[in-house]
Amino acid sequence: MIRQIAKLLKILNSETAPINISLAICFGMVVGFTQMWSVHNLIILAIVLFFRVNLSAFILGTLFFKSLSFLLNGVFHQIGLSLLTANFYQDIGTYLYNITFWKFDRINNTIVVGGVLVSILGFLPILFILNILIKKYRKHILRYVRKTKIAKAITSSSFYHYYKKITGLKNSI
């Protein structure tokens, strides 16, 4: 748990653009809210690797939202059940299920459909909210931490400069 918090702080304090971190966490939300080895998650993994999204933030987002999904499975089931039993979806769902490709994605599972729907509807709002929160964190909290006496003492030590030189860090504190 402490390692994950340290990784998150390292990501937030890095010079990575806030939108890249937010995008990685949102992609992690989609993967975390649905069945792990489904077709759409493999597509998202390919997008994450192709566009060089922050992999650490993606993994942390996936772990966080996968943990949260166990608590929300009942909600996902109700949402998926209401969508799969809706009259307008009957013909579309039957057509898609008869295509072999969509059978692998388990689109007839209520929890999968509910998780996908919640992920799609929550993607953009969470993306923008996280982006704003990361900017505010960097502007207010990180600036305050860098001004504290402890941070100044650590960054002025020769050990810190040697560590920074070896690891290639620019501004970690």
**How many residues appear in the chain?**
173
* Mean pLDDT in residue range 140-157: 74
Which of the two residues, 147 and 85, has the higher pLDDT score? 85
pLDDT of residue 27 exceeding 80, the answer is yes
Q: Mean pLDDT check: name the lowest of 3-12, 32-41, 62-71.
A: 3-12
Q: Where are the domains of the chain?
A: 2-142
101 and 67 in contact (C-beta within 8 Å)?
Answer: no
pLDDT of residue 157 exceeding 90, the answer is no
Which of the two residues, 67 and 4, has the higher pLDDT score? 67
114 — pLDDT class (breaks 50, 70, 90): very high
Average per-residue pLDDT for the chain: 84
CA distances from 96 to 99, 109, 118 (A): 5, 13, 20
pLDDT attached to residue 31: 94
Residues whose CB falls within 8 Å of the CB of residue 67, separated by 6 or more in sequence, listed in order: 32
pLDDT attached to residue 167: 62
